[in-house]
Amino acid sequence: MGTERPYTNSKPLTIEEVELHAPQRGEVLVKIKAAGLCHSDLSVIDGNRPRQMPMVLGHEAAGEVVELGSNVHDIAVGDHVVFSFVPICNHCMPCMTGRPALCENGAAANNKGELLGGGVRLQNKQQQPIHHHMGVSGFAEYTVVSRQSVVKIDPELPFDIAALFGCAVMTGVGAVINTAKLMLGQTVLITGMGGIGFAALLGALAGGASKIIVADVNKDKLAKALELGAHVAVDSSQADAVEQVKDLTGGGVDIGFEFAGVVQALEFTYNATGRGGKTVTAGLPHPSKFMQFAPVKLVAEERTLQGSYIGSCVPVRDIPAYISLYQSGRLPVDKLMTHKLGLDDVNEGFERLAKGEAIRQIITF
């Protein structure tokens, strides 16, 4: 963590041969076919999201089941799967009350860099443990994961597209549909046009938003967003950017989404949300960063400021549903893919991501 850029020179990730243990009770061995490069991986590399080291990164991925551990009966060798980066235990209080995105046992395992069943299944040649990223560790040819970390999908879906549903689509579309509960005809602001922001744009279009405003400091991404269906693009670095949004919507948007992971972006989005509106964030700034706002607005304007983790999704329900929307042409997530890489290109890919020169890059195996 904290390696200096450019990553093409410093190479924070190394390609090594490691030992992968066989799947234990309730686990599966998956051959990775495709894995996406996400800002959540980048935030580990740059130190914004500290994790246990050493670690095999990668949490947005798809693959094929090749071996079952004991007590796994509802999935078969040969099944195609997308990973969910929160393993869901199904028996903690959030799981039992319909909020599996907040699974307590899954979060605890992820924070330790372990699998849901406890411990790690990776070690280096010196017999030292290697930690798992979000229960997935998708930047590898094979991975052992909890059965609760995979969702069976339609085998007709290409793996490179399937991988997108494991994070970008689940988080972005889920934030619009599940967290914010977008209603037909509402106005929307999306700040931060990375893979998740673009997925949210597609979700807002599919959900029937009447006006979608996108905001970023990257002019190329704003142009791409307009190409994909956004109605207005705003340079959020401009001094009057908030007033532009308010003028376009008669006082502010019904729902503001922030995906940049920068406090200033969240403040901008919150200030551009109208009276009675919701501001939803799925960004992940460094834990030391704080936001200031006037609490009186929450009361006097009945405002809502809400977090969204994995799009408040129930992965086993939502991933197949979003895939069906893609297959029917109503959620064209393939347009988010800007680069295809080999595993050896991973550092170059993260430098490109850090520069803001990519939406979604997919490693294929």
Q: Which domains does the chain have, with CATH numbers?
A: 7-166+332-364 (3.90.180.10), 172-309 (3.40.50.720)
Phi, psi dihedrals of residue 268, rounded to the nearest 5°: -60, -45
Provide the pLDDT for residue 285.
87
Query: Which residue is associated with the tokens 């372990």?
Result: 114
Indicate whether 145 pLDDT > 90. yes
Task: State the pLDDT confidence band at 223, using cuts at 50, 70 and 90.
Answer: very high
Q: What letter would DSSP give residue 5?
A: S
Q: What letter would DSSP give residue 312?
A: G
- Chain segment 342-364, per-residue pLDDT in tens: 999 999 999 999 999 999 999 99
- Chain segment 77-114, per-residue pLDDT in tens: 999 999 999 999 999 999 999 999 999 999 999 999 99
Using a 10 angstrom Cβ sphere, with 0-12 exposed, 13-18 middle and 19 or more buried, the burial of residue 292 is: exposed
Indicate whether 341 pLDDT > 90. yes
Q: Tell me the two tokens of residue 250.
A: 């008669």
Query: Which residue is associated with the tokens 């279009």?
Result: 205
User: What is this structure's pTM?
Assistant: 0.96
> What single letter denotes the amino acid at residue 132?
H
Taking alpha carbons only, the member of 173, 105, 165 closest to residue 135 is 105
